[in-house]
Chain A
Amino acid sequence: MSQADDRDVRDRLATLRQEDAREAPSLAAVLAAARRTGRVGPRPLRWVPAIAAVAVAVVFVVVSVLAPNGQRQALVSLATARWQSPTDFLLRVPGAEYLETMPSFTTDWRNP
C-alpha cells in the first residue's frame, strides 16, 4: 500500500471523525447521565445481598435434606445397600474351585 493510499484512508476516516464529532453528546450530558444511573464515589458491595441470599438458600436446602425431622438422617441406608462392582467377574479365574477344595491322596487305586 502506497503513501497515497494511506492518505486516502486517512482522509476518509477524517470525514467519519468529523461526522461523529457532530453527533457526540457533550461531556456534561454524559457525566450527568452517568451520575443518574450510577452513584459516583466508593461503590457499595452490591453483590453482597445476592451472595447472602444464595448462601441462605443453600443452607436451607442442605438442612432440609439432611434433617427433615430435626434429626440427622443418612441419605442412603447402608444396612440395606449392597454394592457389586460390574467387573467382579474378571476376578473369577478358571479352575478357582480346585483351589477351594482339599484334594485327598490314597494308595488304594480301587477305592479312590
Chain B
Amino acid sequence: MQPPDLERELDHVHTAAFGWALACCAGDRSRAEDVLQSSYLKILDGRARFDGRSSFRTWLFGIVRRTAAEERRRARLRRWLPLTWFGVLQARDGRPDPASALTRSETTRRLERALAALPPRQHEVLHLVFYQDLTIAEAGAVLGVSLGTARTHYERGKAALREMLKEVDRE
C-alpha cells in the first residue's frame, strides 16, 4: 500500500483510532496523541506493513496497542532517569488530563472510572466490542488472543462492568 492510500485509510479510521489510543492510555489525552503519532509514523515510514491478513482497522488497532505498551515501558524507564529527578523531563502519571476531564459529563466520567477499574484485557475487549463495534473474534485478533480467550474476557468483563455500573447508579 502506497503512502497516499495509507493516509486515505487512516483518515477513515482516525477518530476510532484516537478512541482506542485513549483506552490504551487510561484516558490520558496527550499520551494518546503521542501514541497515535508514533503509530502513524511506523506505518508511513514502512516499519509496520499492512499485509491484508486482517482488516485495516484491526491491524491499526494492534499497532496502536503495541505502541502504547512500548510507551508505558519507556515511561517506566524515564522515571529512573536522572533527567526526571532533576525535573528536565516531566514524568507523566498516566491519569487523564484535568482539562479533558472537565469537558466530560459526569456520566461519562463514571463510566470511564468503572472501565478503568476492570482488568486491562477485559477493558480492552469491552471497548473493542461495544465502543468500536468489532466482533469478539476481531477483538481477539487485535489483542493477539484466541477467540475462546477473548470471549472469556468479554463475558467476565461485561458481568464486572454491569455490577460496577449498578453501584455507580445507586450513588
Footprint of B on A, CB under 8 Å? Answer: 1, 5-6, 8-10, 12-17, 19-21, 23-27, 30-31, 33-35, 37-43
Contacts and interface: CB of A to CB of B under 8 A. Distances in A.
A16 B37 CA distance: 22
5 contacts: A17-B19, A27-B14, A35-B41, A37-B41, A38-B41
A29 to B, nearest CB: 9
B100 interface: yes
Contact of A19 (B10, B105, B159): B105
Band of interface residues on B: 35 or more
Nearest to B100: A23
Contact of B131 (A16, A37, A38, A39): A16
B40 A13 contact: no
A16 B11 CA distance: 20
A23 B45 contact: no
Interface stretch (B54-62, B86-94, B106-114, B143-151): B106-114
Closest CB pairs A-B (n = 4): A34-B37, A24-B18, A13-B130, A27-B14
B46 interface: yes
